[in-house]
Chains A and B, each alone.
Chain A
Amino acid sequence: MPEIATVCPYCGCGCGLYLHVRDGRLIGVSPSRSHPVSQGRLCVKGWHAHEVVDNPNRLTHPLVRREGNLVVASWEEAAEVVANGLSKVLESEGPQAIGVLGSARCTNEDNYVLVRFARGTLRTPNIDCSARVQCVPGPAPTSGGPSLGAGAEEIADLDSADLILLVGSDPTEEHPAVAARVYRARQRGARVVAAAARAHPLARLADVHLPVRPGSEVRWLGSLLHLLLAEQGFAADADMPGLSELRASVAGLRPEDTEAATNVPAEALREVARLYLSSKQVVILYSTGLALSTVAGPALQALGSLAALSSRGGGPEVSVLGLLSRNNLQGCRDMGVAPDSLPGYVPLNDDAAVARFEQAWKCEVAREKGLRAWEMLGRVRAMYVVGDDVTRSLPDADAARRALEALDFLVVQDIFMSPAASMADVVLPAAAFAEREGTWTNLERRVQGIRKAVAPPGEAREDWRIVADVSRAMGKPLPYESAKQIFEEIADLASIYAGIAYPPAAVNGGIRWPTPEGRKAGETVAGSGEAEVTALSAEALKGPGARAETNEEYPLLLAADPTLRPWDGEVTVCHTLTSAGEFAVVARDYPDGMLCLNPEDAKRFGVRGGRPARVVSPKGESQMQVRVTEEAPEGIALVPYNQAMHSGLMEISTDPETGRPVLAPTPILVGPVQ
């Protein structure tokens, strides 16, 4: 029973684990004690990672739609159909009419080859990854920071922190390996502050829980900044650029005056300010709860200002760690699966750098800025989607479904028949993580090698190989034979990966980029590394505005909570045995939606737990099943994000800065079903 050291395929933590193999089949998983992230622990998903691979529901053969039905085809036929389908759109509408989506689940090598396929073979600039919707753009909090992923922050910072701030993050649901470190930090005496509407377990155990009203994230942060600057005498460096503007923007945000808008008690906020100033090392963790909020960009700016004030004003040392949701979301971005850069964050207008790619790829690359994932829908005529269920990964999921239906040609590569795959003209079966070699990059930029333990089922093969086959069928072969060869090309061209020898063994936690060799490039990518202080925008301080105000007609606020059961119904868990038991709960027990209500609200509106309730918003009406829980704050009904986006109840607003769709908190009325 050999143990094969590899990496967990689920969240961005990148835990090390061992796969057990017998007779060519995966028969189990063990944790690794020596791995720097997992340290001997695994969450329920990791413990059952073998179930996602050895699974009767796997796609095993290429499928081509004939007379409305998907039927088995050979790889040659399928590649031919894809090549013809894409060529037809290229000829009639041009490359701009094709959109390509990479995958935060797939390897760096898959994504790199896909970028070459999109920008080189198809010559389309429209390449993106839908999970990027949760990557907050804009200035980075510290030293170049999470928006480009080149900060110095790492999970191990939690081991020496004396204050941990969870901002819109419930790591017990989203990032269990991070939560494990928070629990251990707490046991040794570190203070914990949780800012989230929902009283999740770590919020209940926290020294201070700030029950922040969704949409008011910038306002409470502004109030905290005001406290630190004006009342607590934060020793800020007066010459710091941007400081007077910041001071002016938060002037007058006394905690007592923001209490009503944010639900954050003034005394609790004062306590947080005191804890902050008496700490030596602060770790701020944020995840989708902040990143998918209506004010994500400005809120991250506020965190950045907080960190910058600290570093230049003699405050505590601050690490801001953005927790990415998927195993290789970081790597997916590193590989240039984005409309505005090439692998390694190479800007499209850098002639010399682009020329290096063109020389290596022996073709011209599409240099225009392309469409973002959420902009492609409805604007392109054909899509090539790798490892992504677009009907679930974007906030406006119903629009995504309609857009996929309206396409002339849709290709989906995946390991299961996802809802998006079932709509495709061609479905291509991919090898799962234990059936192939390659690398993933975790949320702290650990590049880790994954290893082949078993053969793929049927004719499934590596994603990069499928893409290369299609490219060949289009007359433009991509000369790749192995993951190693691709990685070496990446390390050569995307200089942030320079100095990493393949394979970076997962058993040691891989190698973090940038290496000393790649550091120079990494710094170029991350900007000056100087922390910045910026004024908070008046617009963001106001929050989502009147449309999200409750009133007599709609007395409750409905908020989509991305940290509430984020894995529920995810395609890679819902086909498994045990993980599905744990993570198909919402779909199974609350098929029409899980409306989490505080017991007081349930009483007030006459609805009962486990029973359907009628929910009315200015936008529409729906039925959802009630879950009565103290986790929901009074006055706010919480729904898992993945259900909220299908509910038809919520306003989908557009982030002014990035144009990404955001589910805005919406006032509702709840009552029993008549």
Chain B
Amino acid sequence: MTARMLPGNKIDEFAVRLMRSAEVVAPRRVGEEDVFYGAIASPDEIAWDYGTAVEPLKRFLLPQREPILRFSTNGRIRVGAEYDEQQRVFLGVRCCDVTGVAVLDAMYGGDTVDPYYMSRRERSTFIALTCQQPEPHCFCVCGDAGPFLEGGYDQQWTALPEGMLVEIGSAAGEALVRDNEDLFAEAEVDQVAARYRLAREAEQKFGEFKSYIAGAMRKLSMNEVAPAVWEQAADRCMECGGCTYLCPTCSCFTVTDRMAGQDGVRERHWDACLYSCYAREASGHNPRPEREDRLRARFFHKISHQWAVRNGRQACVGCGRCVLGCMGWAHTPAVSEGIRRGVMT
């Protein structure tokens, strides 16, 4: 591990320097108690003591709605694509959310590269903040995505009494230290040891939603799930789409054209595999007509072995947002427990 120390009194200065060359996106309090990741205008806005943000980082890489090209039918057709070329540093974001980006990368940067996504992704730097106090809905420990990471970040920070222990995970992370060498100190052996002790302690603090995904993955991948489980899950799902929208790794979208006179804009919008209209074909035929069919497809993508191989890891990172966002009771811990037991409670 390559680690340095960023003393407590240098953190704000580091953030200010980051802001000179990039949009810095960090956790900040909005409204009463809600925490959202958002662009900051000052380091004072950063909520370092937060638990989890209401939403993952997805909105910054894959907006809920974005124009992807404009066209005009005036005389002859002209088409112009639009890319977001903003440099962004994601500062103090949770490990589960940084891991989620790796799954999006597999989708949008894999066999078929999505230029809209990659334009943002290539200009993004991730500084993760380890999690010392998981919230009741969290289960990243079951998703191999926290509370501390062993890789997959540009930098990973751990809050120690004297400042941030900064682990460097990439050349980009290394460059941020090199360019601001005056702010950083060497990390002591004790400080590195403290980081591992804190990680072990955090792992003991998870609550009731721990999800033993491995067992569910085996049954799902071997086609051993009792069919009744999907019907039972369907009665507990209201098809709100919240689990997919809040999921750091759900990546489905739809595309629509909007015309204003002779000018049009093609927009990409989030879509959800749970919606009845998602897979419906123009003929009216729907390959997944029932809600249980759609739930099966979703969980196959999230936690089957087959998809884990494609993505390089299981898609569920255990951020627990589906637990909070589910209108019914068909979130990942509930359904994976149902899969393992053969019945949903």
Contact = CB atoms under 8 A, between A and B. Distances in A.
The judgment on whether A and B are partners is: yes
Interface of A: 1-3, 5, 18, 20, 27-34, 39-44, 46-47, 50, 56, 172, 176-177, 179-180, 183-184, 186-187, 201, 204-205, 507-508, 577-578, 581-582, 585, 589
B36 interface: yes
A176 B241 CA distance: 12
A578 B256 CA distance: 11
Contacts of B63: 27-28
18 contacts: A3-B34, A5-B30, A27-B64, A28-B63, A28-B270, A30-B55, A41-B327, A44-B240, A172-B238, A176-B238, A180-B328, A183-B236, A187-B345, A201-B234, A201-B235, A578-B269, A578-B271, A582-B276
Contacts of B325: 31, 40-42
Contacts of B185: none
B33 interface: yes
Nearest to B31: A507
Contact of A20 (B64, B275, B280, B284): B64
Interface of B: 30-34, 36, 38-39, 54-55, 59, 63-66, 234-236, 238-242, 245-246, 254, 256, 258-260, 269-271, 275-278, 280, 284, 324-329, 345
Contacts of B254: 577-578
Contacts of B276: 581-582, 585
Contacts of A44: 238-241, 275
Given A1-B38, A41-B327, A183-B329, A29 B240 contact: no
Contacts of B260: 56
B235 A34 contact: no
Contact of B31 (A5, A177, A186): A5
A477 B304 CA distance: 67
Contacts of B34: 3, 18, 32-34, 507
Nearest to A45: B240
Given A30-B54, A31-B54, A585-B276, A41 B31 contact: no
Contact of B240 (A42, A56, A186, A585): A42
Contacts, number: 132
Nearest to B330: A183
Given A41-B324, A183-B328, A28 B236 contact: no
A42 B242 contact: yes
Contacts of B55: 30
B260 to A, nearest CB: 7
A28 B54 contact: no
A578 B284 CA distance: 16
A279 B32 CA distance: 36
A179 B31 contact: no
A205 B235 contact: yes
Nearest to A40: B324
A32 B31 contact: yes
B31 A27 contact: no
Contacts of A47: 240-242, 245
Nearest to B59: A28
Given A183-B329, A184-B329, A3 B238 contact: no
B277 A582 contact: yes
Contact of B238 (A29, A50, A179, A187): A179
A179 B38 contact: no
A28 B33 contact: no
Contacts of A40: 54, 324-325
